[in-house]
Amino acid sequence: MMRRCAVVGNPIAHSLSPTIHRMFASQVGIELQYDAILSPLDGVVGTLNSFFASGGLGVNVTVPFKEVAFGWVSSRDAYAGAAGAVNTIVATNGIHRGYNTDGIGLINDLTTNLGCSLSGKRLLVLGAGGAVRGIVGPLLGSSPSCVVIANRTVARARELIERFEDPRLVAANLERPGEAFDVVINGTSAGLTGELPNMDGSALRGSLVYDMVYGANARVFCAWAIQMGVARVVDGLGMLVEQAAEAFRLFHGMRPDGAVVLRTLRARSV
């Protein structure tokens, strides 16, 4: 029986989600129709209603609709609740439940694909926007010793921290966030415009540096991090694949092997 899923966004033509989910479906042996749907900026509610009314099983939601999806769903998991954003919607008996799989994707890529344990580690997260809100809960669940949220506007970092009320969370100024971090995660949007965050690069030295974006969007930041003496630099393609693997599990009840798909995409130089 053919299952129907989709990714909804604007823009959407660049999305790798159809490729990834079709590869997962082939891997586990199910028939899947997975489409990329371009929704009008002011019409995503109608797009979601139409898709599920026509028998759709599940939807992945990408920019700029994650917050609208949060308000549209019937219920949400804890990660979506903390983030205030939904990137995965599953329909069950007419009920639409929302999830946020971004943080799970990040953790799985770091710990499984990259072999980086976060337990007891000092983590630095750059940025305090929506992308970062989606990963803080899972990061805290990985038992770090502390998570420093560094943002250009420290007040915004403090606002994010207040959502979680965890003593391991610390707000810092992006320019000088401190030193001696085990893992640095770039969640700023600077790379999307080819810019660099205005910060002291010495905070990155000796760390594993992880940029949440991938491909061309990550090259400027990753190249700069290498110049700053970073021990290891990785882009966010693995996070994209692993968040999709978690969404696939929620849609179909089967967990695919994200590492296999990631290796294929890396070989294609995505």
Task: Give the CATH number of the domain where residue 23 resides.
Answer: 3.40.50.10860
When pLDDT is averaged across residues 24-40 and rounded to a whole number, the result is 98
Q: Are residues 108 and 231 in the same domain?
A: yes
State yes or no: pLDDT of 127 exceeds 70: yes
Active-site option among 23, 24, 66, 161: 66
For the cut 80, the answer to whether the pLDDT of residue 270 exceeds it is no
Question: For residue 28, what are the domain limits?
Answer: 3-100+238-267
* Number of separate domains in the chain: 2
Q: Which one, of 96, 98, 94, lies nearest residue 82 by Cα?
A: 98
Tell me, what CATH number does 111's domain have?
3.40.50.720
pTM over cut 0.85:
yes
* pLDDT of 191 over the 90 cut: no
* Residue range 147-178, pLDDT digits in tens: 999 999 999 999 999 999 899 999 999 999 98
Same domain, 107 and 191: yes
97: which strand partners?
75, 90
pLDDT computed for residue 200 by the predictor: 86
User: In terms of domains, do 47 and 166 share one?
Assistant: no
Residues 128 and 74 placed together within one structural domain of the fold = no
Least confident of 20-34, 105-119, 219-233: 219-233
Integer-rounded Cα radius of gyration of the chain: 18
Catalytic residue list contains 66:
yes
Mean pLDDT value of segment 52-80: 97
Confidence of residue 179 (pLDDT cuts 50, 70, 90): confident
Provide mean pLDDT across the span 38-59. Answer: 98
60-84 mean pLDDT: 96
Domain identity same for 112 and 208? yes
| Residues 96 and 108 reside in one and the same domain | no
Mean pLDDT value across residues 121-135? 95
- 88 in the same domain as 110: no
Same domain as 110, residue 74: no
Please check whether residues 250 and 220 belong to one and the same domain. Answer: no
> How far lies 251's CA from each of 22, 32, 99, 232, 263, in Å?
13, 11, 11, 34, 23
d(CA 176, CA 56): 48
Are residues 69 and 145 part of one domain? no
pLDDT recorded at residue 50: 98
Residue 192 has pLDDT above 90, yes or no: no
Arithmetic mean of pLDDT over the chain: 95
The reply to whether 64 and 44 lie within a common domain is yes
Are 33 and 114 within one domain? no
Say yes or no to pLDDT of 129 above 70.
yes
Distance separating alpha carbons of residues 171 and 135, to the nearest angstrom = 15
Average pLDDT of the segment spanning 242-250: 98
